[in-house]
Amino acid sequence: MLKTMKITATLLTLATILLVVYAIYTSTYTNILFWAIYGGIVILDLIIIDKIKKYDAKEPTE
């Protein structure tokens, strides 16, 4: 499950980068819908990253 969360977090991070590049290229960064989608993706990404950190902290080190 940890591997899946890491892959998801990586994909969401890449999606935010591509979304910003797309917005700059098409000048849609003034659209409120863009910011709603962008904010939602960033919040999901941060939640998953936080869960990964908590999961990593619980695992014993060898």
pLDDT in tens, 38-56: 899 999 999 999 998 888 7
Scan for tokens 């991070």, then name that residue: 13
State how far the Cα of 17 lies from the Cα of 30, in Å rounded to an integer: 17
pLDDT (0 to 100) of residue 39: 92
CA distance 51 to 57: 10
Q: How far is Cα 26 from Cα 57, in angstroms, rounded to an integer?
A: 41
Range of the domain at 6: 2-58
Helix (H) or strand (E) holding 20: helix 2-26
Q: DSSP secondary-structure letter at 13? A: H
Q: Give per-residue pLDDT as tens, 7-35.
A: 999 999 999 999 888 888 888 778 888 88
pLDDT band at 62 (very low <50, low <70, confident <90, very high): low
Number of domains present in the structure of the chain: 1
In the structure, how many helices (H) and strands (E) does the chain have? Answer: 2, 0
